[in-house]
Structure 1
Amino acid sequence: MTDFLKLRKSAPDGFFAAEAAGLRWLAEPGVVPIVDVIDHGVDFLRLRRLDEVGPSAEAAASFGRKLARLHDAGAPGFGWSPAPQSFFGPLDQPFEVPAESVGDFTDYWVEQRLRPLAAAAAGDLTGEDEATVASAIDSISTGAFTGICGDGEESPARLHGDLWAGNLMWTQAGVALIDPAAHGGHRLEDLALLDLFGTPFLEEIFSGYEQIHPMPAGWQEDLPAHSFFALLAHIRLFGLGFVGQTVRAARSIIARAEQLDR
């Protein structure tokens, strides 16, 4: 078979159209292999089938270089989506996120992403944990993470948006990307998701990335602030099992913001 069919009869309106638009937008710069869209409809997405091989350090470093070029291709704004609607989450329970384009990362990240999800997750948090999460979001709202390591401001990057290891396909042609939640955002959003749940040859990916887009010393300490949306989303989607990891990340964010403020 040469194609792969994603099918969900009860998919939210616009879900597969958004994924198709995201894949095509990521493919536009021609720098990272992206699974080909053959066709899509209200309840399906037909893709070109990819044949997997095992991960390798060489392919990881090459992917890191390509990912940096993809990010550097840019986006019209933070939160901008290549489709009128934007979604996050697995095929069986995606939820819609705002697709409003703004010029400021902090406003987009705090008001469009973090505060709404924190409110949705509140029922799974104790009073103390809820306060810690709220304090972390307040720390981000100061603008501490607008740049990298408190240095300057980042321009909107062209993001995959759900770049955990399961959405990387290791093929003979290199790492190809599938299942995006594509949007304009901070480049550390993608890098933080690669780090969050572990990715094969992660350090090689990061090293390749920095060959194209050098990063300031200590940049990985900023990552919890940029994976915080994904952690809150996992509480919304899967419940209590992700509370502990989310609260630990919140404490790291608070400490990092205080360090950057010194």
Structure 2
Amino acid sequence: MTASRLTGRRVTGGPVGSGSPAEVTLEDGTTVMVKRGDGPGAVRAEAAGLRWLGAARAVRVPEVLGYDEWSLVSERVPTGAAGPGAATRFGRALAALHASGAPAFGAAPPDGPEEAYIGRAPMRNVRGDDWPSWYAEHRVLPYLRSAVDAGTVRPGEAGVIEAVCERLPALAGPAEPPARLHGDLWQGNVLWGTDGEVRVIDPAAHGGHRETDLAMLRLFGCPYLAELLGGYEEASPLADGWQGRVGAHQLFPLLVHAALFGRGYAEQALSVARATLAG
């Protein structure tokens, strides 16, 4: 059994669930999650990302109990209902996480691979000094090409997204230092603990622009988002005009989803790109 091999403890119950992750009970009564990786390097990237996020002592993450090339065993987080107080505290903690910084845009976590993943999509962690050019080259355009190759974005439509990339230096707002990002911060990766505190899971951690994490939370919905953003701005105010930049930051996750899941996300990416260009 994978959990026993990676933790050194005998499995006495489970697995609960037929997919990944699955719950398993160990001999000391601890319930853990056993997750299979999405591809070569994915588990190493996730484990390194969780360690890097946890090292900031800001946003809480499940403890990694063991991993190998294909499987990761981590602490199980008992979950409950979302609440406004927890959202406000999470916003403050997220601001502290971002402020803990990264060596460069695109920097992988320490010991993390350059060839990583966001969900099931490959993601390269390539360093850059300038956010607009790095974001265009390494976060938007690769997934635009994948979406065109998959037929979900038509070749004649790609130009509107390319135009956003060309205008990013003027659209990006004031320059900011690289932030320590979760990188895949949609609501499914935000766990509302029964203890009233939030943990985050399944990171695609890297150095990036802090507004990207916030834009992803808005894109896929997050309970008590207004309270979360209030806590964030209380701790670390966002630069003026950030609301108008949300769409540019959403192009990355939307194009990842367009490449993986089809035309609906492509249409949303195109709509966001047009709105961004229109100002």
- One of 230, 253, 257 as aligned partner of 2:253: 230
**Aligned counterparts of 1:235 and 1:54: Cα–Cα separation in 2:** 31
Deviation at 1:72, TM superposition (A): 0.2
Please give the TM-score of this superposition, normalised by the length of structure 2.
0.84
Structure 2 unaligned runs (5+)? 1-24, 26-30
> Deviations along 1:109-156, whole A, 9 cap, x unmatched?
01111111111111322344222222222222xx1244xxx2x31100
Deviation at 1:56, TM superposition (A): 0.3
- One of 157, 169, 178 as aligned partner of 1:156: 178
Q: Which has the higher mean CA deviation after the structures are superposed, 30-39 or 64-73?
A: 30-39
Percent identity for Structure 1 against Structure 2: 39
| Alignment correspondent of 2:214 | 191
| Alignment correspondent of 2:139 | 113
| Alignment correspondent of 1:99 | 125
Q: Which has the higher mean CA deviation after the structures are superposed, 53-62 or 107-116?
A: 107-116
RMSD: 1.4
- Give yes or no for contact 2:86–2:198 (8 Å, CA) kept in 1: yes
> Deviations along 1:144-189, whole A, 9 cap, x unmatched?
244xxx2x31100000000000000001151101000000000011
The structure-2 alpha-carbon separation of the partners of 1:76 and 1:216, relative to structure 1 and needing over 3 Å to count, comes to closer
- Give yes or no for contact 1:85–1:96 (8 Å, CA) kept in 2: no
Please give the TM-score of this superposition, normalised by the length of structure 1.
0.89
| Alignment correspondent of 1:169 | 191
Q: Which has the larger radius of gyration?
A: 2
Structure 1 unaligned runs (5+)? 257-262
> Deviations along 1:166-215, whole A, 9 cap, x unmatched?
00000115110100000000001100000001110001000000001012
| Counterpart amino acid of residue 77 in structure 1 | A
1:208 equivalent to 2:231? Answer yes
The structure-2 alpha-carbon separation of the partners of 1:86 and 1:26, relative to structure 1 and needing over 3 Å to count, comes to farther
- One of 20, 35, 53 as aligned partner of 1:6: 35
| Alignment correspondent of 2:270 | 247
SS in 2 for 1:158: strand
- Give yes or no for contact 1:26–1:158 (8 Å, CA) kept in 2: yes
Deviation at 1:12, TM superposition (A): 2.1
How many residues were matched structurally?
A: 245
Deviation at 1:87, TM superposition (A): 2.9
1:88 equivalent to 2:117? Answer yes
The structure-2 alpha-carbon separation of the partners of 1:196 and 1:27, relative to structure 1 and needing over 3 Å to count, comes to same
- Give yes or no for contact 2:178–2:208 (8 Å, CA) kept in 1: yes
| Alignment correspondent of 1:49 | 76
More RCO (CA 8 Å, sep 6+): 1
- Give yes or no for contact 1:105–1:185 (8 Å, CA) kept in 2: yes
> Deviations along 1:197-244, whole A, 9 cap, x unmatched?
111000100000000101244312211111111001111000112122
| Alignment correspondent of 1:61 | 88
- Give yes or no for contact 1:34–1:177 (8 Å, CA) kept in 2: yes
